[in-house]
Amino acid sequence: MVRIKKLILDTADFHPLHKMWVNLAESLSKEYGVELEVKKEDYLFAISYGDKDDIGMAWLPQLFAELEDGRILLVMSQYPFDPSTTKPSEELALNEAKKKLEEIQK
């Protein structure tokens, strides 16, 4: 079983959902009992470990997990929207991130 050492949120203050990403990362950090590192506009980090567009540029925010063995894996790169309201959904985001973290720890 792989253990998560810490969560890493690479974000940008100007992003409209910045606070929602921070709340998500803080909630997950508390629930899983791991450290949270918040990076501000570290595009090199996001390009190295995260999702990129078709010309190789990363976007922010993105959430990552650093494992005890040093690997860094992407947890989430797009905040989910509720299809019925077309608004960002904290519940869907939390469920999606938890599902990914559980997959990582298997």
CA distance 81 to 68: 32
Give me the pLDDT at residue 1, please: 79
3-class secondary structure per residue, 16-51 = CCHHHHHHHHHHHHHHHCCEEEEEECCHHHHHHHCC
Pick from 42, 45, 44, 40: which is nearest to 13 by CA? Answer: 40
Return the pLDDT at 10: 98
| pLDDT for position 32 | 97
For 30, phi then psi, to 5°, come to -65, -45
Beta bridge partners of 37: 8
Q: Which pair of structure tokens corresponds to residue 16?
A: 């409209």
Residue ranges, the chain, pLDDT below 50: none
| pTM of the complete model | 0.95
**How much is the pLDDT for 55?**
96
